[in-house]
Amino acid sequence: MGPATRLALRPGGLAVRAGLRGPAEVKIVGVAAAIIFRDDGCFLLGRRAPGTFYPGYWEFPGGKVEAGESPRDALVRELHEELGIEVVAFTPWIVREHVYEHAHVRLHFFRVTAWHGEIADHVHDALAWQKPGALNVAPMLPANAPVLAALTLPDVYGITHAWQIGVGEQLALLDAALARGLKLVQLREAALPEMQRESFAAAALARCRQHGARVLVNGDAQLARAIGADGLHLPARQLLALDRRPPFPLVAASCHERHELEHAARLGLDFAVMGPVKPTASHPDDAGIGWERFAELISDLPLPVYAIGGLSSADLPVAMAAGAQGIAAIRAAWRPDPAR
C-alpha cells in the first residue's frame, strides 16, 4: 500500500494517517506552483539543489503558502525570491494533492504568461525550458506526471456536427481548422446512420493523424476502438454510470454539475468540459451559467476543464482567467479564428 492510500482527507487542511497507535493527523501543506510560459509555448523547470528533499529532481518553480497568505500571493512572492521576477500576468489552473514521505502537499498551479525582469537562478542548481510532450530532462518530481500530461492539451477543443451540416462540409471545415493548428477533436455524431458514422470517423481520424491532432469519439467505445481513436469522450450519463476509467489513452467527459466534475476527477479522467457558459445556437433562450459560476464549479479540481457554450477563440482570455483549460466549441471551432 502506497502512502497516498493510507491517508483520508479531513476538513481544515488535515489528513489522517493510520498507525499502530491510532490515527495521526498530518497537516496538508499548501504550495503555489508556476507554469511559466515563453511565447514559443515552452515552460520553465528547475532542478532541486543538493541538501534539499529529492535533490537532482526537476520541478516547477514555486513554494510553500505561508500562514495568512493566499496561493496567488505566495506565487508572486516565491517567483520573486526564486527567480528575481515580478509577475504581471497569471491565471489559475488546476489543484492537485500528493503524498511524499516528508509531506502531504496541495499544489495550486498557475499559468504565468508575463513578467518583468530577467529570470535568474537563486534556488535551483539549474533551469531548463521544455516543450510540452517533449521533455529532455529527468527525473521529475513524482507529483508532476499528471501535470506534464495536462500540459499537452491545447487551448481549443473542436467538436464535429456532420449530422447537421453534412459529412462533406464537415470534412472540409476540419481540413481548414487542422491547417490553422487545431490539435484536439471530438467526433460527436450519434445522429448519423451507423455506416455513415463509421466512414466519417475513419476519414476524420486520417486527416487528424496527418496534422498531429488527437481524436476522441463521443459516447461510442466500440467505434473508438474500431478506428484506433486516441480516446473516448463520455456524456454525463455515461460518466456517472462508471466506477472506473475506460481503458483508453485519453478519456474526457461532459459535465453540467459539480458532482459530475468530481466523479470525473475520481475516475482519473484527463479532462472535462463544463457548460453551457453562454447562450448557444441550439438554446438561445438559455442564458448559461456565466463565468462567475463556471469559475466556482471548477475551482480546486485536479483535472483541466474546458468551457463550452456559445464561445469562440475571442473568449479564451476570460476563460483562462476563470481557470479553464480553454474553450470547447461546436460551431466556432470551424470558423477562421486562430485555433491553438
Does 340 reside within a domain?
A: no
What is the predicted pLDDT for the residue at 25? 63
User: pLDDT above 70 covers what percent of the chain?
Assistant: 91
Question: Which CATH number characterizes residue 77's domain?
Answer: 3.90.79.10
Q: Do 110 and 59 share a domain, yes or no?
A: yes
* Cell numbers describing residue 299: 475551482
Question: Which CATH number characterizes residue 299's domain?
Answer: 3.20.20.70
pLDDT tens digits along 139-178: 999 889 999 999 999 999 999 999 999 999 999 999 999 9
What is the predicted pLDDT for the residue at 24? 54
Identify the helix (H) or strand (E) that includes residue 223: helix 221-227
5 has pLDDT over 80: no
pLDDT tens digits along 282-310: 888 889 999 999 999 999 999 999 999 99
Domain boundary among 148, 165, 195: 148
Question: What is the C-alpha to C-alpha distance for residues 216 and 246, in angstroms, rounded to an integer?
Answer: 13
SS3 12: coil
Q: Do 307 and 204 share a domain, yes or no?
A: yes
The total number of structural domains in the chain stands at: 2
Predicted confidence band of residue 70 (pLDDT cuts 50, 70, 90): very high
As a residue count, the chain comes to 340
Answer yes or no: are the C-beta atoms of 241 and 247 closer than 8 Å: no
Q: Do 54 and 86 share a domain, yes or no?
A: yes
Radius of gyration in angstroms for the set of CA atoms belonging to the chain, rounded to a whole number: 21
Owning domain of residue 30: 3-148
Q: Do 24 and 64 share a domain, yes or no?
A: yes
Predicted confidence band of residue 318 (pLDDT cuts 50, 70, 90): very high
Answer yes or no: are the C-beta atoms of 339 and 181 closer than 8 Å: yes
Instruction: State whether the Cα torsion 76-80-83-85 is positive or negative.
Output: positive
Q: Do 199 and 236 share a domain, yes or no?
A: yes
Relative to beta strand 156-159, strand 326-329 is: parallel
Whole-prediction pTM: 0.91
Q: Do 189 and 322 share a domain, yes or no?
A: yes
Q: Do 164 and 90 share a domain, yes or no?
A: no
Does 279 reside within a domain?
A: yes
Q: Do 66 and 142 share a domain, yes or no?
A: yes
Q: How many CB atoms lie within 10 A of CB 231?
A: 22
How does the average pLDDT of the chain come out, rounded? 92
2 has pLDDT over 60: no
Place of cell 477533436: 185
Does 339 reside within a domain?
A: no
pLDDT tens digits along 104-150: 999 999 999 999 999 999 999 999 999 999 999 999 998 899 999 99
Predicted confidence band of residue 13 (pLDDT cuts 50, 70, 90): very low
